Amino acid sequence: MSDRSLRRLGAASGIFYVVLTILGSDVLGGTKTGVGILVELLGFAFFPFFLGSLWVCLRSAEGDGGWLSATAFAGGLVALAVKLASAAPILAVRASEGIDPGIAKALIAMNDASFGITFLPLAVMLSATAIVAVRTGALPRWLGWGAAVVALGLLGALSAVVVAPSPPEWAFLPMLLLLLWTVATSIAMIQRAGRPYPVETAHLAGEPARVR
């Protein structure tokens, strides 16, 4: 398999992630069914590949010494780790017959709280991506501005989840926007696979941009 094909496959992982997580959580019953949990977990398995593809895209454009691309990668990994850890309480409830209803309710609440906690590292990932995309053109700049808007929405949703006893329904809207952004970003990276990334850090310092 050629390098270009591998890059396209890595970029497409974001689409696989979105499709499988939506299929598992909404179509197949989510945490209420074993099949839903399994499909959703398989979706999460594609997220690191998307993050790796995004990191390469941002890093190649940011140039040597760039740290925002690494920050975006780290933010995504932290969010994934929290989300995967939140599956353990749900699996424990399903595996324990005759579990005390109060304990089961607490474990399910832990899963819900973990979902809200992921908003913070995801906002970090999007913020770092937005800065690099807007400054360098690593991604279409409208995707960079879109990432900034979704990051702000996630921070607002996090505030609502933490402060309000019962989070409002709109608190989960930024997460839906994040999924749309992930699909759009995957498509953009697929289209750019095989092309050289522009490095504009020198241009930002007043020198002509160069291509790697």
pLDDT along the chain (212 residues), means of 10: 80 94 73 74 93 94 88 96 81 65 68 82 97 94 96 92 72 90 96 65 43 39
pLDDT in tens, 145-161: 999 999 999 999 888 88
By C-alpha distance, which of 154, 160, 210, 178 is closest to 50?
178
Number of domains observed in the structure of the chain: 1
User: In this structure, is residue 210 part of a structural domain?
Assistant: no
User: In this structure, is residue 54 part of a structural domain?
Assistant: yes
Looking at beta carbons, which pairs linking 27-34 to residues 24 or more positions away fall under 8 Å? Answer: 31/90, 31/108, 31/111, 34/94
Residue 153: domain span: 3-197
User: In this structure, is residue 207 part of a structural domain?
Assistant: no
User: In this structure, is residue 211 part of a structural domain?
Assistant: no
Q: What is the pTM of this model?
A: 0.83
User: In this structure, is residue 69 part of a structural domain?
Assistant: yes
